[in-house]
Copies of this chain bind each other. A is one copy, B any other.
Amino acid sequence: LADAYRLDELARRVGGTVDGDGSREIRGVATLDRADPAELSFLTNPRYRDAALSTRAGAVLVGPGVELEGRDLLVVEEPYLALARLLELFHPAGPQPPGLSELAHVGRDVRLGEGVRVEPFAVLGDRAVLQDGVRVGAGSVVGEDSVVGEGTELKPQVVLYAGTRVGRRCLIHSGVVLGGDGYGFATSGGKHHKVPQLGRVVVEDDVEIGANTTVDRGTLEETVIGAGSKLDNLVMIAHGVKLGRDTLLAAQAGIAGSTRVGDGTIWAGQSGAAGHLEIAGGTVVAAKSAVLQSIAERSFVAGIPAVEHRRWKRSQAELGRLSELRRRVREFRARLDALEARLGQEED
């Protein structure tokens, strides 16, 4: 049902070149194992080279220097980026007609921009602002005095607590909770007294937040998700955290309160950072690792506590060879005993 394109036309659209038959007609994009001869497939991860050699795809999108005997190739500098563009071409986002559902609940003094879509059972709190083109999914709650920026989409069952600000062109997935109270308690005599959480959550432009992720507000400070950041599912961002621009946080990662993270960091799955730290921009944290101290310079760290990745690797290797080391030490003892015995004898 999608239009067909000549391979050289696709190349032109993604700034690539054809290695093979540019006149080939392509009607869609599919994975290597499912593509048929009228489809383009893609090799963006070298693990799948075998599949690329046996695919039925009519052509394959590849990066520079990749050779696939007897195949028409669409060669680009950045194949994964080109894949994104081609998928948008073949699968343009379906139209979601604007409109305010009669089954939504709209508070007082709500301001709605042009082309806003609000689905059934959504709740817009008093004085909430939805800028142009905002979409609010079924059952989502936009708290009082919240602002949702132009073109942003809240999927069903998102909750924005009062006063939350979400920037433009963001995508917030189902179950996300923005602006819940930070975990702040003053303990006295063994009892934990709540410290009011009056700060707000600010999500800057072009951020995507995965399903069931939570971002808390702080006592007085803002919690900030920097522009262009992408958070996966079930991530936890605590009160007062400042995430720099273009942060990547994979699933189930967590950053504790008041930690400041520079631009362009990458956090692998189930990693975490303690509170009140400063993490240098560009830092990469390996899966399952726990950053327990500030990181002054862009680093690649791993482990619990996280240390420089090479050091962690070496420690792991050493750990695996410990039995052998112990055996050797035991052997030395025997040799030492023997030497001492002989020298003792000689003395006698």
A residues whose Cβ falls under 8 Å from a Cβ of B: 29-31, 34, 45, 47, 78, 80-81, 83-84, 87-88, 91, 101, 103, 105, 119-121, 123, 137-139, 141, 155-157, 159, 161, 171, 173-175, 177, 180-181, 183, 185-186, 188, 190-196, 198, 208, 210-212, 214, 216, 219-221, 228, 230, 232-234, 236, 238, 246, 248, 250-252, 254, 256, 264, 269-270, 272, 274, 276, 287-288, 290, 292, 303-305, 307, 311, 314-316, 318-323, 325-326, 328-329, 332-333, 335-336, 339-340, 342-343
Task: List 18 A-B pairs, Cβ < 8 Å.
Answer: A47-B276, A78-B186, A83-B186, A83-B195, A91-B198, A121-B121, A139-B141, A139-B157, A180-B211, A192-B228, A212-B212, A216-B233, A232-B238, A238-B251, A250-B256, A256-B287, A274-B287, A332-B336
Given A183-B230, A183-B251, A335-B336, output 8 extra A-B contacts at Cβ < 8 Å.
A78-B186, A101-B105, A121-B123, A121-B139, A190-B246, A256-B269, A328-B333, A336-B339
* With known contacts A288-B272, A339-B340, A31–B252 Cβ distance under 8 A: no
In-complex Cβ contact of A320 among B30, B120, B233, B315 (8 A): B315
Q: When the two chains form the complex, which single residue of B155, B208, B214, B320 contacts A159, counting CB atoms closer than 8 Å?
A: B155
Q: Which residues of B contact A185 (CB under 8 A)?
A: 230, 248
User: A34–B220 Cα gap in the complex (Å)?
Assistant: 10
